[in-house]
């Protein structure tokens, strides 16, 4: 077991991998990450699958088989993705069982084109949950205004949810309240309130967004400050009478997850966000390069000192309106995810046409 990655678990933070490919599974690499680097979960997104399909032949046989079955487009993709994610879920099942469902999860998101469609999101979440047939698979739903009621309804229906595209503490609280409403309705209906959920807050995109608008001394600090503010809200919510009542009825906390924690600035530490956000009762889902960079560090060090109040004042002086940037990032995130989705479907269509031509 790697001493550096294990230290995060000693702090009380889980390490999840932000990657899933057929090769990662077939080569035994994911299993080695579980055994040697303390990885206890996994997240996926369309861009990951797009790159894997486009830049390798690893999925040719699967796509060919799905084409023979008359599958195409979104249906083909979800079946292809679920073949990988079911395997990953099974690898993590011992972790899931050992931790009583705290860890050991994988995630699959609904089509990003549904980000502003409540009914469509809920219908897709139900369908994917049933198709996945794994207790340790989250359905990713964006924390947009239209996504929040879908999150509540999904939780009420007993569907585990990974809330994605959160960029601020206020967005996190709105997602947490949607989760709690769903759980409270289950309690009132006499249903089991233990439905898993995590809330994914994106970190590094803040620093990319303001990098050219602030002095050098302020670079790579806003994402961490935003995340730590969200963490304060998270801990306050867990201490609230409302949550205590829900927990006493048998529910479990919706854990806060740090997403987008790969360092984008080549001048900064490769584990900048990992070190700064090594906080108890959270999850860090890391790109593969970040995970390996962390494992290569001989000493992890201590979390950075708290200085949120001063940081926000300095950014305000520099002309940064964090509320406006949060709204900007959410809009850009929805657009980016939608583009990635369309790129993925184009990639599948192109690969399908190539494979058909070879057969002909």
Phi-psi region of 12 (alpha: psi -120 to 50; beta: other; left: phi over 0): left
356 catalytic residue (yes or no): no
| Sign of the dihedral defined by the CA atoms of residues 346, 18, 291, 306, in that order | positive
In the block, residue with structure tokens 């009621």: 149
Active-site pick, 66, 140, 229, 351: 140
For the chain, give the number of residues.
360
Q: Using alpha carbons, select from 327, 174, 202, 340 the residue that is nearest to residue 259.
A: 202
How crowded is residue 207: how many other Cβ atoms within 10 Å of its Cβ? 24
Q: Phi, psi at residue 200, to the nearest 5°?
A: -100, 115
Distance CA 233, CA 308 (A): 13
E strands, 189-231, in order: 197-202
Alpha-carbon span 146 to 353, nearest angstrom: 36
d(CA 341, CA 330): 16
Angle at alpha carbon of residue 25, lines to 8 and 160, rounded to 5°: 65
Question: How many beta carbons lie within 10 A of that of residue 196, not counting itself?
Answer: 22
Which DSSP string corresponds to 247-297?
Answer: HHTT----EEEEE--S---TTS-TTHHHHHT--TTEEEEE-HHHHHHHHH-
Which residue numbers are catalytic? Answer: 140
């Amino acid at each position: 077991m790697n001493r550096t990655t294990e230290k995060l678990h000693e702090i009380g933070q889980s390490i999840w991998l932000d990657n899933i490919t057929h090769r990662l599974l077939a080569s035994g690499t994911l299993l080695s990450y579980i055994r040697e680097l303390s990885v206890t979960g996994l997240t996926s997104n369309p861009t990951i699958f797009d790159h894997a399909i486009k830049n390798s032949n690893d999925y040719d046989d699967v796509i060919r088989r799905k084409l023979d079955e008359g599958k195409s487009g979104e249906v083909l993709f979800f079946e292809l993705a679920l073949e990988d994610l079911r395997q990953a879920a099974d690898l993590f099942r011992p972790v899931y069982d050992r931790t009583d469902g705290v860890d050991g999860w994988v995630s699959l998101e609904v089509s990003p084109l549904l980000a502003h469609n409540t009914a469509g999101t809920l219908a897709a979440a139900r369908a994917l949950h049933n198709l996945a047939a794994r207790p340790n698979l989250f359905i990713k739903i964006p924390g947009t205004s239209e996504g929040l009621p879908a999150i509540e309804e999904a939780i009420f229906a007993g569907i585990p949810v990974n809330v994605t595209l959160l960029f601020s503490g206020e967005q996190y609280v709105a997602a947490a309240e949607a989760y709690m409403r769903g759980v409270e309705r289950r309690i009132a209906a006499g249903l089991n309130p233990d439905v898993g959920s995590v809330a994914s807050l994106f970190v590094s995109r803040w620093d990319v967004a303001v990098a050219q608008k602030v002095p050098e001394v302020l670079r790579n600090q806003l994402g961490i400050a935003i995340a730590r503010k969200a963490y304060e809200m998270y801990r306050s919510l867990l201490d609230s009478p409302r949550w205590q009542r829900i927990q006493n009825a048998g529910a479990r906390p919706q854990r806060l997850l740090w997403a987008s924690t790969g360092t984008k600035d080549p001048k900064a530490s490769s584990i900048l966000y990992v070190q700064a956000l090594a906080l108890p009762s959270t999850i860090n889902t890391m790109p593969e390069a970040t995970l390996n960079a962390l494992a290569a560090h001989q000493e992890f060090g201590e979390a950075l000192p708290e200085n949120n109040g001063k940081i926000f004042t300095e950014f305000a002086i520099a002309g940064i309106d964090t509320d406006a940037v949060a709204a900007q990032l959410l809009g850009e995130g929805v657009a980016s995810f939608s583009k990635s989705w369309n790129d993925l479907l184009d990639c599948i269509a192109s690969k399908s046409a190539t494979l058909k031509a070879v057969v002909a």
